[in-house]
Structure 1
Amino acid sequence: MGLPDRGIVAAVQLALYVPMVLLTLLLVFRHGFRRTSGWIFLAIFSIVRVAGAILIIILEKTANPSTGLFTAASIVVSIGLTPLFFATMGFLSTVAQRSDSPGMQAIGQHSKIFRILHLVIIVGMALVISATVGITSENSNSRKNSSSQRKAGGVLFLIVYIALVLIHGYCWVHRDEIRVHRRRLLIGISCALPFFLVRVLYTFLDALQTSPLSNFNPIFGSLALYTAMSVVMEFIIVLIYTTVGMMTPLDLDEEYPVKNEPQEYDAVPNGPGGQQYARA
């Protein structure tokens, strides 16, 4: 028995993300396990997508799927934005590292703005999960509350995206204060953000619908919209980030100083009359 169309899309995702899991784990070993580096969240996202694809395939092949299976598949598919947000925050933090600029240091590791965004993302994810559980609940109050929870979660995710775009724009304004190889990562973020916008809008538009069975629902809605605005967009984002990650040797920062960074010189005469000095 063959798979329905949604199951075929899930099978393609499985074929794409299994090797992507290995590639992103390689990047984690290469760049570090720190949450602030972003790579660990890219690996988590790939693992989540593998799990989601498996659940959808099981769902499509089951004659009478249980409510629990519907709920599990819906949750795993819906929370994909969370690790992508965390990954992008980590990459922006990496871009700002080792800069002497106070402004860039403000968006570096352990910055207040990223801690706030981290909390907003967690709240948004909790609302999305709660709404997903409520949709399949037999309790009428839970189903009623799920609509407002979906809206709140969608709005929070849109706010986080706008905040990341503004931080990204600030980095570009101060790009001369960023070390050369880290600018390559900033370019990668710039390339990914338009696709990220489409993915965020997919969740936001689903949140605005009054019915959980809207065209923008990833499980029950339009397969064409789900594939174009979610599946394809996510894979392009991951592909951009992994490509940049393989091309970015962050350990070479010291060989490529910031453009306007003052250079140090030895106090040793190195020319006629002692007017020139050797570089340190």
Structure 2
Amino acid sequence: MGSVTYRNGIAILQLIVFPFILVASIFIWRRTGLKVGSRIWRYPFTLSLLRIAGSICSLLTISNKSQRIYIAEAVCELIGIAPLLLTYIGVLRQIDIDEDIPPRSSRLITLITFIGLILGIAGVSTADDGNYKNGLTKGAMGIFLAVFVIYVLMAGWLWIRIYGMKRFQKKLYLAIALSLPFVLVRLVYSAIGDYTEISRFQLFGDNTVYLCMSVLEEIVAMVITMVLGTSAVLESDFVRLGSAQQSSEPKNEVV
């Protein structure tokens, strides 16, 4: 039986916080409609499951040093960026009740992010001797960085296009604005780890850097989003996406 390490303590922190984020995402999902909401709020739900699973794997290493457990922990850690980014792409979609951004564009960004996710999983799964930095994982990180830039441009475009925002839209925009710096730092941390040889930024490198630039960044960003997201869907002027589209011109929406 091994001892509890600094890394295990970080896992315990995630096990405490992410179940609350998971519950909040389910609540918002239900309020926005199970079918339409699934295109948006399933992503923080998925991120929470990944972080909980990764934390459990970390704690299992206390008594079991199996390489498979370390690989499972690495997979949960590295692919979590995809649902993190898709959460904010989804929030933009929730704001954009009049479809100023063509739905096809949002679906294309989602597809590109999933391609990055697949590359990331393949890169981690085929890694040798715990070296998770290879062409596939670097390619996945490049896709995630590009998606983030597109997301920021989309958010700016939507801000210009929407006039007389409803209260719920303002709260969701505030969630985006407040979370953006934390998501950026999270991506910078992973990018440095993937594209440089600085040991402190590697997957199992310096635990303090990992805590401050990855774990806490995700937690703060998601807590902000869940709190403001919950408040937004409880607003009296909240509009479900399906309701907004039905009240305007007829459109054939493709999932």
Q: Does 1:135 align with 2:114?
A: no
What is the DSSP-based 3-state SS (H/G/I as helix, E as strand, rest coil) of the residue aligned with 1:135?
A: coil
Q: CA deviation at 1:37?
A: 5.3
Aligned counterpart, 1:227: 211
Q: TM (normalized to structure 2)? A: 0.84
Which of these residues, 220, 227, 230, is aligned with residue 243 of structure 1? 227
What is the rounded CA distance, in whole Å, between the counterparts of 1:9 and 1:230 in structure 2? 11
Aligned counterpart, 1:31: 32
Q: Does 1:71 align with 2:71?
A: yes
Q: CA deviation at 1:133?
A: 1.6
Query: Map of 1:132-211 to 2, 5 A cutoff?
Result: 132-136=124-128, 147-176=134-163, 178-209=165-196
Aligned counterpart, 1:112: 104
Q: How many residue pairs get matched?
A: 236
* Structure 1 gap ranges (5+): 100-104, 255-280
- After TM superposition, the structure 1 stretch with the greater mean CA deviation from structure 2, 126-135 or 75-84, is 126-135
Q: TM (normalized to structure 1)? A: 0.77
What is the rounded CA distance, in whole Å, between the counterparts of 2:68 and 2:158 in structure 1? 44
Q: CA deviation at 1:35?
A: 4.9
- Contact kept in structure 1, 2:101 and 2:158, CA below 8 Å: no
Q: CA deviation at 1:173?
A: 1.6
Aligned counterpart, 1:55: 57
- Contact kept in structure 2, 1:127 and 1:150, CA below 8 Å: yes
What is the rounded CA distance, in whole Å, between the counterparts of 1:175 and 1:195 in structure 2? 25
Q: CA deviation at 1:247?
A: 1.1
Aligned counterpart, 1:11: 12
What is the rounded CA distance, in whole Å, between the counterparts of 1:94 and 1:37 in structure 2? 10
Identity among equivalent pairs (%): 23
* Structure 2 gap ranges (5+): 240-255
What is the DSSP-based 3-state SS (H/G/I as helix, E as strand, rest coil) of the residue aligned with 1:230?
A: helix
Q: CA deviation at 1:93?
A: 0.7
What is the rounded CA distance, in whole Å, between the counterparts of 1:24 and 1:241 in structure 2? 10
Aligned-CA RMSD value: 2.3
Query: Map of 1:94-113 to 2, 5 A cutoff?
Result: 94-97=94-97, 99=98, 105-107=99-101, 111-113=103-105
Q: Which protein has the larger Cα radius of gyration, Structure 1 or Structure 2?
A: 1
- Contact kept in structure 2, 1:35 and 1:90, CA below 8 Å: no
- Contact kept in structure 2, 1:79 and 1:125, CA below 8 Å: yes
Q: What letter corresponds to residue 216 of structure 1 in structure 2?
A: F
Q: CA deviation at 1:78?
A: 1.0
Aligned counterpart, 2:250: none
Greater RCO (CA < 8 Å, at least 6 residues apart): 2
What is the rounded CA distance, in whole Å, between the counterparts of 1:25 and 1:176 in structure 2? 30
